[in-house]
Amino acid sequence: MERSTAVVGGVIALLVVGALVVWSGVWLQFVDPGSYERTTVTVVDEDGTELGAVDARIADTWQQRLVGLSRTESLAADEGMVFVHDRQERHGYVMRAMSFPLDIVFVAENGTITRIHHAPTPADGASESDLREYSGEGKYVLEVNRGWTNETGVRVGDRVQIPGETTDPAGTGDESGPDRQTASTPSCDAGPTGAPSPTNATVTALDEACTPLGTVSVAIADNDSERITGLSDTDSLAWDEGMLFVFPETGEHAFVMREMSFPLDIVYVAPNGTVTRIHHAPVPDSEYERRYPGTAKYVLEVNRGWTNETGVSVGDQLRLPNVTAS
């Protein structure tokens, strides 16, 4: 594996072997991460098309993983850090001592992205107990500027190529399924709730701690005619507006941006309210219609960037109106 050496401090705090390791900020300042090597990390979609690449510092010792980017004031648009763990398992990260927000991308041993978090900087004066944990399954974790995955269209199920590291670019390993969280059981009051809803209602996103991340007022498309038309006859959405597509049953669906005049986040949702997939769809620039597929009973469409700004990611849950589709 070819790497160039850079003497630079780095990043975020780490979790090891599936359990959050609590380190005090006082103790952290005495950790010497040593020199970081560098490599180019590239992300490709399911067709092998390159979506983006970053010049990444490599954090492959416990000292480097612990310090992370916490001693870095900012990243260039094409910079990041890749954390290399000894094995694939559940890890958790916190934004301890961070001065800028991040996208935190969990990557399986075979290179498949399994989860993406959009992490804001901690509030001023936040204590250790106030720090939110961003967890996921993987052997690698890529940290980049918050918004990078949204701007490049990177999503769960895409492939990360790390020279000399990721082992299965063809995606034959057991982490290859982009909708693998469909069967998860919600821990919050999520999914359809309340009495049958009228034509317009609200959808609230909740993280794994059941903390509300954002709410949108939605128009409901619950029949074939409304689902086909979608937002194609809408000029724009307010930031807190969207459309909820409701299907009679869970199945494979695919959306296209036909006749759309503004970009969207397309959020696939299981019957229990769990977010299973998120696409960041631009306005089409040609006659070619890219399909944005997923397995779901519900699909939420909002302004592109809404999931990034609110921190909504795969595995979070939506509190939905109680609607029966036809």
Residue 124: the pLDDT is 84
Provide the terminal-to-terminal Cα distance of the chain, rounded to the nearest Å: 55
Per-residue model confidence as pLDDT tens digits over 256-292: 998 899 999 999 999 989 998 888 888 887 766 788 8
Tens of pLDDT along 224-254? 999 999 999 899 999 999 999 999 989 999 9
Is 191-322 CATH 2.60.120.1140?
yes
pTM: 0.56
Per-domain residue ranges of the chain? 4-161, 191-322
Q: What is the pLDDT of residue 199?
A: 58
Q: Is 149 helix (H, G, I), strand (E, B) or coil?
A: helix
Q: What is the pLDDT of residue 197?
A: 54
pLDDT of residue 176 exceeding 90, the answer is no
**Going by CATH, does the domain composed of 4-161 fall within 2.60.120.1140?**
yes
Residue 102 or residue 13, greater confidence: 102
Averaged pLDDT of the chain: 81
In terms of pLDDT, which residue wins out, 197 or 58?
58
SS (H, E, C) 159-225: EEECCCCCCCCCCCCCCCCCCCCCCCCCCCCCEEEEEECCCEEEEEEECCCCCEEEEEEEEEECCHH
Residue 105's closest CA among 75, 148, 72?
148
